[in-house]
Structure 1
Amino acid sequence: MPSISSVLSLLGFAALALSSPAPNKRAVTVYLAGDSTMAKAGGGSGTDGWGNYFPYSLSLSVVNKAIGGRSARSYTVEGRFDEIVKLVQANDIVLIEFGHNDGGSLSPTDNGRTDCPGAGSETCQSTYNGQTVTVLTYPAYLINAGKAITAKGAKVIISSPTPNNPWEGGTFAYTPSRFTTYAKSAVASIGSNAMFVDHGQYTANIFQSLGKTKVDAFFPNDHTHTSPVGANTVSKAFVKALLCGGGGFLSGSVKNSTSSVEGACI
């Protein structure tokens, strides 16, 4: 028969186990991968990227890994996607938005950012910094990154690029670029753990409703990089797109209500 002291000791351990809190579920982190339109002050003095305002709309931690001047290609070659792949854990979310630096031509001079033309697995041979390199297409870079990220159990949101100032010609003009189509196709190739957000169209719609005078003031240096106020508006456009689509992977984590964000659902 166990002694009284041993019984009391067992009861004490049981009480301690019952009173101990259950281990906390790891908090989800949202990582942002993009160019200067998303990065902190990526467009020079008086500008800011929308990624710095997005955290105000989320109840999750946001880590902005966007870097000015990058394309899907250069972000890949520099190992920046690899860095994110190492960091992400199951259920984390990676938001990817490129396109402003992915166009152009590989000849006569390769700037290290231009992608190989094409919508699939095409490749181009180019010379960059005196070395022969193989260049992939825009969707191929996104698919490779997306599959590596989702293999870790994380989720991917691929967004269409935000527009340059659609009022700069005097009247409103916006046509989605080919990178919007490419982003959609990349999501389809990655699978169910990837989703598409048409950030470009939602931003364009809000810019149209605000009018030329207000939107021109959003672009203090050029037609691409926004002021802090403009960046905040671009961030709201992304939030509106999320909310109108039911939230997707961020459902339940967006602080705003649909009606509180300017713009209309499309």
Structure 2
Amino acid sequence: MISRRRALAATAAALPLAVVGGAPAVAGVQESRRSRAHRMRTVFVAGDSTAAGKSVSAAPETGWGMALPFFLHEHLAVANHAVNGRSSKSFIDEGRLAPILEAIRPGDFLLVQFGHNDQKREDPARHTEPWTSYQEHLLQYVTGARARGACPVLLTSVERRRFDAAGTALATHGAYPRAVRALAAEHGVPLLDIAALSLALWQKLGPEPSKRYFHWLAPGESPNYPDGVSDNTHFHPPGAIEVARMTARALRSEQVLGAHEVRRLSADIPESWLTWHEES
């Protein structure tokens, strides 16, 4: 009898798990839970040209979203959906929020930074009013992410480079940052105050040193800009890297991410790590 029992046990052990009693369902559920627990989470970015990835023909113009992965742990992927020239309104109207909401999963993050193009009153396709339509559009990103179990994060717009005659860095976004702060407080959304952080950085650097962070080129300095360029909105690699760094630091300080989920916050990041995409 004992030998028979041993034989049956040995046979059962040798069989595929799928045919042994009720184990398959339990094992399948456990495996599914493990898979979800270890799935790489994604940080989605919805924004404008200050964050967007840039093409080879635009280099050395750089969006801060291009540098963000250098400051996040390898287990966090970055899906940068930011696009040049978009506002909180036009991004939605063009159907660009929809694919983010289709892809986003529980545990993911959605960073939302608009404002530069929302200010353009002359363009009804992009313009929003700070305390009404701007907040209404931003709320669509928030509710869309939350409905899918993801964490929305609102960012005030990174500041342009503008100084007065005394060398004081000036805020350039009017009421829009205040409207973001109020919306975040009202709906309990994590807020990264990049407007305030970037303004402090430009002030620390000063009028002339800050030019290195922005899209300034002398004639002949780059084959992509033979006549040179003086752009106080968009970044060169040093500026994009520093804005990405301040974003990662804010994600940690606001407890959106844990200390183990960010990295290199005080490290020098080589510009050679940045890549520009080929024209599609």
TM range (shorter): 0.7 to 0.9
Q: Tell me, in whole angstroms, the C-alpha distance in 1 between the residues paired with 2:162 and 2:246.
A: 15
Within-5 A mapping of 1:1-266: 4-12=6-14, 23-24=34-35, 25=37, 26-41=39-54, 44-59=58-73, 60-105=76-121, 110-115=123-128, 117-120=129-132, 137-167=133-163, 171-175=167-171, 177-191=174-188, 194-219=189-214, 220=216, 221=229, 222-243=231-252, 245=253, 247-251=254-258, 252-256=260-264, 260=266
Count of matched residue positions in the alignment of Structure 1 and Structure 2: 235
Judged with a 3 Å threshold, the aligned counterparts in structure 2 of structure 1 residues 9 and 173 are, in CA distance, closer, same or farther, namely same
Amino acid paired to 2:179: Y
Structure number with larger C-alpha Rg: 2
Amino acid paired to 2:44: Y
CA RMSD of superposed structures (Å): 2.9
Q: Tell me, in whole angstroms, the C-alpha distance in 1 between the residues paired with 2:124 and 2:7.
A: 78
Judged with a 3 Å threshold, the aligned counterparts in structure 2 of structure 1 residues 46 and 239 are, in CA distance, closer, same or farther, namely same
| Residues 58-101 of structure 1: CA deviation (Å, up to 9, x unaligned) | 01111111000000000010111111111101010000101110
SS at match of 1:29: strand
Judged with a 3 Å threshold, the aligned counterparts in structure 2 of structure 1 residues 236 and 70 are, in CA distance, closer, same or farther, namely same
Contact 1:167 1:216 in 2 (8 A): no
The offset of 1:188, in angstroms, is 3.2
Amino acid paired to 2:262: V
Q: Tell me, in whole angstroms, the C-alpha distance in 2 between the residues paired with 1:41 and 1:151.
A: 31
The offset of 1:211, in angstroms, is 2.3
Say which structure is richer in helix.
2
SS at match of 1:223: strand
* TM-score computed with the length of structure 1 as normaliser: 0.78
Contact 1:71 1:114 in 2 (8 A): yes
SS at match of 1:69: coil
Q: Tell me, in whole angstroms, the C-alpha distance in 2 between the residues paired with 1:48 and 1:78.
A: 23
Judged with a 3 Å threshold, the aligned counterparts in structure 2 of structure 1 residues 261 and 188 are, in CA distance, closer, same or farther, namely farther
* TM-score computed with the length of structure 2 as normaliser: 0.74
Amino acid paired to 2:256: F
Structure 2 unaligned segments of length 5 or more: list them: 217-228, 269-280
